[in-house]
Amino acid sequence: MTETTTASAPPASIQPAPLGLLTALLFWLKLGFISFGGPAGQIAMMHQELVERRRWISEKRFLHALNFCMLLPGPEAQQLATYLGWLLHRSRGGVIAGVLFVLPSLFILIGLSWIYLAFGDVPLVAGLFYGIKPAVTAIVVHAAQRIGARTLKNHWLWGIAAAAFVAIFALDVPFPLIVLGAALLGYCGGRLAPEKFQTGGGHAATHHAGGPALIDDHTPTPEHARFRWSRLLQIAAVGALLWLLPMGLLTALYGWDGPLTQMGWFFTKAALLTFGGAYAVLPYVYQGAVSHYGWLTPTQMIDGLALGETTPGPLIMVVAFVGFVGGYVQQLFGAEQAFLAGALAACLVTWFTFLPSFLFILAGGPLVESTHGELKFTAPLTGITAAVVGVILNLALFFAYHVLWPQGFGGRFDWPSALIALAAALALLRFKRGVIEVLSGCALLGLLAHLALR
């Protein structure tokens, strides 16, 4: 992975050469095709390339941007790429970086989603997914363990995580209310016991990278990154227009209750209300897309997460799968145009999911650049992140139930799936294997088991 992105680093004592927009564009395009590994891997890759190898930005400025992105709802890795692209090349640089971080994944997922729906009953494909489903369950457990180990440092945070789990598992509290409650607890806890709610620097490594950078610790804020009220109002107006035009067109064509209109509205809320990364948004997407709207089944949701894990780009791109399945299965444009309906739905939900992220960065970036001290209000983020651990654990139980008891508790226990899930968990937790490696191995095991049990 790292060898693929290697660029010849300038000598440590020499200032890097000025960066052209075309050079940056090619880098962001390449990153969009190779950014596997979830947000932690993607952020670490950007840190290695932009801070250590190419020295386009200093580590302090990089972590400053990362801390801001972690405070926002939405995919922090994509937002970080947008922020760095904006800092280097104004708004067009931010748009280029953010779009290219997502676009390859969108096209790949549209193709894979079509293959999944068109050929999912073929024994080869069915067998592969038979092994991938339990692997996804183990991956979600691993995500809860990884985030919990980094976050749950004291009894206060353990308590918030436990309360979030009970709220969503036993009381079926909507995820946005859990986020709001956790933020409030974090805010109060930060005032009562601030030492209990201190956060680290996020996913990225924190060792110092030597040598001057294009944008160094003491580089003056670029002119385009200085805060202006007129600029803020302009971005807000453009953002409102970019949301209102497609939403108004969908409402005019299909009505407010039309599936495409409701997808746009639902994923707008998902983009604005979900903190804590992709695994945190999945319970909210499940509550809406599966339970409320019925755009896809629980099994399809698990399969969609598996596809999201095996493609580059942000894991939140699983929403493209949700949109494609919803448009394709409901045959919005008739049976002969099922692919077109699915592809359009996938593009629409991607648009509404990521539009707020661009606006947050382009509007909030100048405010962040106005101070290079530590960001305030991290205690609510700490509370939210602790709650996310409990929410992800609930998601793991949801997946385990549908994988291990496919006909419900009254049906048979699927012991081959249980063995594959156990093997995946050991590979991830004990032997520290990569997600792609685990998914590939489990897919092969699933194929063998599926063929043997036929």
pLDDT at 1: 35
Residue 318 is classified by DSSP as H
Residue 226's pLDDT band, with cuts at 50, 70 and 90, is confident
Higher pLDDT, 117 or 202: 117
Higher pLDDT, 149 or 9: 149
Residue 98 lies in a domain: no
Task: Please tell me the distance from the alpha carbon of residue 315 to that of residue 274, in angstroms, as a whole number.
Answer: 14
Flag whether pLDDT at 274 surpasses 90: no
Task: Please tell me the distance from the alpha carbon of residue 229 to that of residue 154, in angstroms, as a whole number.
Answer: 41
Helix (H) or strand (E) holding 439: helix 435-453
Residue 100's pLDDT band, with cuts at 50, 70 and 90, is very high
Residue 224 lies in a domain: no
Residue 262 lies in a domain: yes
* Structure-block tokens of residue 223: 């002119």
Flag whether pLDDT at 206 surpasses 70: no
pLDDT digits (tens, 9 = 90+) for 289-298: 988 898 998 8
Residue 150 lies in a domain: yes
Higher pLDDT, 19 or 385: 19
- Average pLDDT of every residue of the chain: 83
**How many CB atoms within 10 Å of residue 240?**
11
Radius of gyration of the chain (CA): 22
Task: Please tell me the distance from the alpha carbon of residue 277 to that of residue 268, in angstroms, as a whole number.
Answer: 16
Sign of torsion, CA 116 388 50 375?
positive
pLDDT digits (tens, 9 = 90+) for 71-87: 778 888 899 999 999 99
**Range of 350's domain?**
105-194+229-453
- The answer to whether 96 and 89 are in contact (CB under 8 A) is yes
Flag whether pLDDT at 8 surpasses 70: no
Residue 280's pLDDT band, with cuts at 50, 70 and 90, is low
Residue 409 is classified by DSSP as T
* Structure-block tokens of residue 389: 């651990």
Task: Please tell me the distance from the alpha carbon of residue 158 to that of residue 169, in angstroms, as a whole number.
Answer: 16
3-class DSSP assignment, residue 261 = helix
Residue 8 lies in a domain: no
3-class DSSP assignment, residue 382 = helix
Question: Of the spans 37-51, 285-299, 394-408, which averages the highest pLDDT?
Answer: 285-299
Higher pLDDT, 411 or 361: 361
pLDDT digits (tens, 9 = 90+) for 133-191: 888 788 878 878 877 887 788 999 999 999 999 998 888 887 778 878 988 998 888 88
Question: How far from 398 is each of 218, 245, 390, CA to CA, in Å?
Answer: 49, 37, 13
Query: The tokens 């790949």 sit on which residue?
Result: 108
% of residues, the chain, pLDDT over 70: 87
Residue 85 lies in a domain: no
- The answer to whether 329 and 114 are in contact (CB under 8 A) is no
Residue 201 lies in a domain: no
pLDDT digits (tens, 9 = 90+) for 56-70: 988 778 877 876 787
Flag whether pLDDT at 131 surpasses 70: yes
Provide the domain count of the chain. Answer: 1
Query: DSSP characters for 115-135?
Result: HHHHHTTSHHHHHHHHHHHHH
pLDDT digits (tens, 9 = 90+) for 321-347: 999 999 998 888 888 899 999 999 999
Question: How far from 76 is each of 62, 91, 142, CA to CA, in Å?
Answer: 13, 18, 19
pLDDT at 208: 47
Residue 373's pLDDT band, with cuts at 50, 70 and 90, is very low
Residue 277 is classified by DSSP as S
- Count of helix runs (H) and strand runs (E) in the chain: 16, 0
How many Cα atoms occupy the beta-carbon half-sphere of 324 within 13 Å?
28
Residue 122 lies in a domain: yes
